[in-house]
Each structure stands twice: as structure tokens, then as C-alpha cells.
Amino acid sequence: MSTSLSAKEYPVNKVFSDDYAFSIPNVQRPYSWTEENTEVLLDDFLEFIKYSSTDDPSEMNPYFLGSIVLIKEESPDSQVLDGQQRITTLTILLAILKHLLPEKRDAIKGFLYEEGNSLMGTSDRYRLTLRDRDEEFFRKYIQADNGIDKLSADMQVDNDSQKQIVNNALLLHRRLQKISNEERNQLASFIIMKCYLVVVSTPDFESAYRIFSVLNDRGLDLAQSDILKAETIGKLPKNEQDQYNDMWEEAEEYLGRESFNELFSHIRMIYRKYKLRYTIIKEFREYVKPAEKPRDFIEKKLVPFSNAFSSIIEMDYKSANYADEINNKFFWLLKVDNRDWLPAAILYLSNNDDDSLNLLNFFKDLERLAMGMMILRYNINQRMERYRQLLIDIEDNNDLLQKESALQLTEEEKRLIIEQLNGDLYLQKKVRIPVLLKVDSILSDGQATYNYNRITVEHVLPQNPKENSQWTKWFPEQETRDKYVHKLGNLVLLSSQKNSQAKNFDFDRKKEKYFTSKKGVSSFVLTSQVLRETEWTENTLNTRQTKLIEKLIEHWRLK
């Protein structure tokens, strides 16, 4: 039995070969990649191919897909400890390509299915076996011939994992149907020949788990900033190295190591203006080129960028005018569920540090844009393209207030944002708290602060009211309750988790026991307004919904 650890980089055609028979242990979490995860992967492939210098997949640069950790001895049997989401999604993608490329069906099938050989004593088997709960479903609808034909959006499934398999397969099918047959062939060849995985194999669970922990550990190992520092300062004359080394280290100490390393990814984006395709170090060397003019980089880029980054994340911009208003915009930007807006924010602040009125106008619109894209659930590629255009606008000194600017929402985006805000807001988990905090802040004239350890979103009209309660008298029809229960107008904020049994109290008792704190009236204006209502009917909800939406429309200039 082998006791050694093996880590090698292989193309997909080697990974999906007779050398490996992947299985997902039952102890693993279920398949959970969302449509967004899947679409981003596909977009990355298509974008990489589009910007390659050749149309021949065999001559394209390699594309790195990450690493997988396996428990594997001498036989092909390989338990997947880390990487099942990637391997499963790749299998779905190959199955869709097989379905849409009849002329390549047999060729692609070999990467999904191993035919047995009586002379070799091997039997038929699929390259990937999911957990017991999902194994048969995956084989029937993804891996088997004609399985894709059986998929439909409304088909019955047993669990969330199977639902995600269906959703992702249908998404890939829709997207790949829209490109030409030639492009599908090119994509299939590119994935098989030029996409690489680092396969880490070890013979037992204990050592595999240690490897998994190390790969996912955020320790103080050598960071990209350390490597770039050595390369950059090493290009300076010996008599200047101490001076510039001190400047570099002061910036790192000022930000803290973790934020300082994050800064380098934002600087890379400012220069590169595209999502990372290789490594930060490789693209930093190619596009930022700090070692070519080390003095200029440290004095004119690194230090101003680090100061701007610190002002943003610490919300401590200082100026005689508008400082509080600008820091307030930083507060709301940091409530967005991604940080893709930061390169544009850093660049603009470092370029306009002494023009506070200009900064206020910019960050007012940047907050609107970032919040708007969050509400619309733009995926990472959509966000990155928008911010890429914004970086270009900033560098070209374009008028950012013109409606054609990437900083401004389009009329269609405004319409869709209003539509989303009028929908079932509670079901948008990553959106509901930022939006509710924003509308609460508007209601308090921007004076509210939110320094609570825990903020929860609660329904006024309960999701499941008791029969014969006050709620069912006000809302006798299930259809009417379903229409309003998750709407903005029916939601309030609480600063702590309340007793779940109190959620179904009748309105008067709920106001007393659930929507007040030990100190009295809730500190949230959104919640305290509810306490002033004597009844909670359809008319009450309609009025409140309209008022709150109008507040957001006015604040974000959506009409």
C-alpha cells in the first residue's frame, strides 16, 4: 500500500480517464452549486477562448481550474474530499455538450463513462458516482444516454441537491444552445485538452483532511505582496532600498496584513480591468509592472491607493466639507454583498482626495449602482464588466454624471430594480437586510446608526398564522396572505432574535411582546411605525408598501 502524498497537475482528459473512478462519500455535504456559480464557470471558459490568440484549442494557453483532494491508493477508486462541486459541474457540462454535439457523442461519452473490458477483467462504470441519495438520479438524468431529454424545470426531485443538478443542467443547455455548433466543438476541445486540475492524492482520510485544511487555511504564509515587494525594492539602488522599504512596510502596517494583501488584487484590477485569469503575481508583473519604475509605483500608486483603501474600509475620510456624508456612503457600500466596486472607489478617491464635493457626488452614485446590481442579482462577470467600463471612464476623465456613463443606472435597470423591490423581498436572502436598513435610514433622515451584533428580519403578518386567529380574519384567503407576506411593507427589523413562538401572536400582543425591546419602543423607525398602527389589513399593507417603495425610488433616483 502506498503511504506517500501525490500532487500533480493534469488536464481534464487525464482526470476523467480510466486512472480515476471518483465517488462522493456520504459524509460529504450535498451538491450545492447555484446557477450563478455554474454560469460564472461557463462565462469564464467562453471569455478565455474569446480572448485567446488562436482559434485552435490545442494551441491555447492552459486554464487552471483549481485543486481536488482525493483519498486514493493504487487502484482507480478515488474518494473526493474536496472538489466535488467542480467535478460534478464539469460532468454536467460535458453531458450537455454530448447531447448538443451528436457527431462528438461517442468521443465525449468516454469522459463520462468507462466501458468494461472482459480481457482486463473490468466492468462498465461511470467516471463519477455521487452520494447514495443522488447517485441514481444523476445517472438517470445526466450521465445516461438521452438523460438530458428527460429534464424539465417542473420535474419532481427528492432534495435540494437534485434541484440544483436540474437547474444547472437546464441553464447550461439554454446557454449552449445559443452559440454555434463550431463554438460548442471548440469549447468541448478546450475543456478536454487545456483545462487543468491539481490532483492531490493521499491514501487515508486523516492525511487527506490535513491537506484539505492546509489548502483552505488563511495562515501567514508568504503572500503575493511579499514576493512583489522583494522584486520591486530589489530594482532600486542599494542606498534607496531602506527608504522605500520603510514606505512599503508603513502602508502594510497601516492597513493590516490581510487588507494589504487584498489591496493588491484591487490594484491589479485597476490596471488589468478584467477578471483574474492567471495569478495575481503573474498579472501584476505583466500589467502593473512595479519593478520597471519602483519609485513611481511606491510613491504614486501603492501609498495613495493604500490610504484611499483605508479611508473606505474604516469609513474615516477627512475633509473640512462633506466628510460625514462621504463616510456614510462608504458605510452603505460596505453593506453590499461583494467588494467588486472597490477598485473604482480606490482609484477615484486617490485621484480626487482634495475635492470633497466631487467625491460625494461620485460615491452617492456608486452606492446606487452597487446596491442596484446587488438587488438585480448581477453575477460576478456582469459586475466586473460594468466596473471595468467605469474604471475606463475614470481614467479617461469622462463625465460620470452623463447617463451614458457606466456609473449611471440605465432606464431598464431602474425599472427592474423597482420590480424587484416590489416583489417578495424576504426571499432574497442577501438583499433583504441591506434594503431594509437603507429604507429605515431614509425614514430617519439618515440619522440612524446600526451597531448591533445581530439584526433579524421579521414578518408582521406571520408566514403561518394560526387558524381562527386575528390574522385569518383580516386575511381569510391563503392567496391574499401569500401575496403580501414576503413584501417589503410586511417586514420589520429587530436587533435580536425573538422567541419564535411569539411570531404568530395576534397583532396587539405581537406589538407588545415581539416588536418592542426591554428599553421600550424599537430603535428601528421601520419597526416603530408598525407599533403606531391599530390594525394590519390589506389596505394598511398596500399603503405602507407604496410609501416605502416611493422612498427608495426618490433616494436612488429610480424615476
Instruction: Tell me, yes or no, whether 47 and 183 share the same domain.
Output: yes
Together in a domain, 391 and 443: no
Structural domain includes residue 1: no
Which of 339, 279, 287, 286 is closest to 66 using CA atoms? Answer: 279
Cβ pair 247, 299 in contact under 8 A: yes
Task: State the pLDDT at residue 323.
Answer: 96
| Cα separations in angstroms, 497 against 220, 436, 455, 465, 521 | 36, 16, 8, 19, 16
Cβ neighbours, 10 Å, residue 180: 8
Mean pLDDT value of segment 444-455:
72
Choose the final residue of a domain: 215, 244, 260: 215
**CA nearest 163: which of 155, 175, 171?**
155
Give me the amino acid identity at 167: N
Cα–Cα distance for residue pair 204/83, rounded to 1 Å: 17
Mean pLDDT of the chain, nearest integer: 89
Asked if residue 309 belongs to a domain, the reply is: yes
DSSP 498: P
Q: Is the confidence at residue 308, as pLDDT, over 70?
A: yes
Which grid cell is 377? 442579482
Instruction: List 491's β-bridge partners, or say none.
Output: 459
Query: Percentage of residues in the chain with pLDDT exceeding 70?
Result: 90
pLDDT band at 227 (very low <50, low <70, confident <90, very high): confident
Summarised one tens digit per residue, pLDDT across range 31-78 is 889 999 999 999 999 999 998 989 999 999 999 998 898 888 888 889
Q: Are residues 382 and 523 in the same domain?
A: no
Contacts of 237 (CB under 8 A, 6+ apart): none
> What string of H, E and C letters represents the secondary structure of 63-104?
EEEEEEEEEECCCCEEEEEECHHHHHHHHHHHHHHHHHCHHH
Q: Where in the sequence is the domain holding 441, given as residue range(s)? A: 428-555
**DSSP3 helix / strand / coil % (the chain, rounded to 5):** 55, 10, 35
Which tens digits make up the pLDDT trace of 85-94? 999 999 999 9
Q: What is the residue-wise DSSP string for 350-371?
A: HHSTT-HHHHHHHHHHHHHHHH
**Structural domain contains residue 383:** yes
My answer on whether 100 and 12 are in the same domain is yes
Whether residue 194 is found in the same domain as residue 83? yes
Flag whether 41 is in a domain.
yes
Q: What is the dihedral of CA 210, 215, 220, 224, to 10 degrees?
A: 160
The answer to whether the CB of 275 falls within 8 A of the CB of 63 is no
Q: What is the pLDDT of residues 486-520, one digit of tens each?
A: 999 999 988 765 555 556 788 888 877 766 655 54
Is residue 56, in this structure, part of any structural domain at all?
yes
Cα separations in angstroms, 26 against 73, 133, 183: 19, 8, 37
pLDDT band at 253 (very low <50, low <70, confident <90, very high): confident
Return the C-alpha cell found at 473.
Answer: 380574519
Looking at 174, 198, 215, the residue that finishes a domain is 215
Instruction: Tell me, letter by letter, the H, E, C secondary structure of 13-45.
Output: HHHCCCCCEEECCCCCCCCCCCHHHHHHHHHHH
Domain tally, the chain:
3
Tell whether the model's pLDDT for residue 451 goes beyond 70.
Answer: no
Least trusted range by pLDDT, from 106-110, 215-219, 293-297, 468-472: 215-219
pLDDT tens-digit series, residues 516-533: 655 545 678 888 888 889
Burial of 399 (0-12, 13-18, 19+ CB in 10 A): exposed
245-249, 258-262, 288-292: which is most confident: 288-292
| pLDDT on residue 116 | 66
- Do 319 and 463 sit in the same domain of this protein? no
7 pLDDT tier (thresholds 50, 70, 90): confident
- Domain end, chosen from 192, 215, 238, is at 215
Residues 131 and 175 in one domain: yes
Nearest to 173 by CA among 147, 155, 137, 198: 147
Spell out the residues 6+ positions from residue 156 whose beta carbon is closer than 8 angstroms to its own. none
pLDDT number for residue 495: 79
The SS3 call for residue 275 is coil
Give the mean pLDDT of 182-208.
Answer: 88
Q: How many CB atoms lie within 10 A of CB 323?
A: 16
**93 and 188, same domain (yes or no):** yes
Same domain, 313 and 453: no
Neighbouring residues of 469: CB distance < 8 A, sequence distance ≥ 6? 504, 506
Three cell numbers, residue 422: 416590489
* Confidence (pLDDT) at 96: 97
CA–CA gap between residue 134 and residue 136 (Å, rounded):
6
User: What whole-number distance in Å separates Cα of residue 60 and Cα of residue 218?
Assistant: 33
In DSSP notation, 420-455 reads HHTS-GGG-HHHHHHHHHHHHHHHTTT------S--
Buried b (16+ CB within 10 A) or exposed e, 34-64: eeebbbbbbbbbbebbeebeeeebeebeebe
- Do the Cβ atoms of 22 and 129 come closer than 8 Å? yes
**Residues 140 and 237 placed together within one structural domain of the fold:** no
144 shares a domain with 67: yes
Which pLDDT value is given to residue 217?
Answer: 45
What does pTM read for this prediction?
Answer: 0.72
Q: What angle do CA 45, 49, 52 make, to 5 degrees?
A: 140
DSSP state of 315: T
Same domain membership, residue 516 and residue 466: yes
The answer to whether residue 314 is domain-embedded is: yes
Which residues have CB under 8 Å from 6's CB, separation 6+? Answer: 199, 200, 201, 202
Q: What proportion of the chain, given as a percentage, has pLDDT over 90?
A: 65
